[in-house]
Amino acid sequence: MKKLGRFLYLHGRTIYYILAVVVGVVCGLLIANDRLSIGGAALAVILTALVPFFVMNLIAISSYSKPLVDALDVERDPYPLLEESEYLLTKTKKGLPYLTNIINYSAGLIETGQFEKALAVLQAVDFSKVPKTLPQNMFVYYHNLCAAYNANGQKDQASIYYSKALASYAMIKNEAVKKQMKSTITVHTIEEHLRNEDYKEAGK
């Protein structure tokens, strides 16, 4: 199941586009020959293209990406995420998957004490390859930069990226996403207070 999840994670979107084109062409031919109504064509596209797309995403998340994140967040084992994201970086060179893999890889590096390597990886990101970056993506990116700088003893730089992370968090419009990331921003705020030795405030 893991291999299937990895395959769908890497190629699911391409498979969806191929399905959509094939179904669209077939439906177009049927409509042209009065063998299918426009409503029927729309239903066919939904059933044979969109539904498989969501099923593929569900398989990719449940059997592949979620276990990797859970290993880090729940079991405190960074190596599955570190090794798999390093592999994925050889396969994804642009777009949000590229940035996501960079973020995951840097998280694994930070958790294994490779702070300077994590900084090098994060600083080398080419954002021209990620034209549609969302605030939540930038929030996690800046969060990892802050964590790496802080762990590496570079407090001033950590403070700069802490502020950038907060600014990106404030730009997230989707309340569900914002709520999902609330635990991260809470931990981050505590870390910032601790860096300033404001222990009383951090304990609140």
Give the predicted TM-score (pTM) of the model.
0.65
Instruction: Name the residue among 87, 79, 81 with its Cα closest to residue 68.
Output: 81
**Distance between first and last Cα of the chain:** 44
**pLDDT of 145:** 93
Which region among 11-20, 103-112, 124-133, 139-148 has the lowest average model confidence (pLDDT)?
A: 11-20
**pLDDT of 20:** 72
Count CB atoms within 10 A of the CB of residue 63: 17
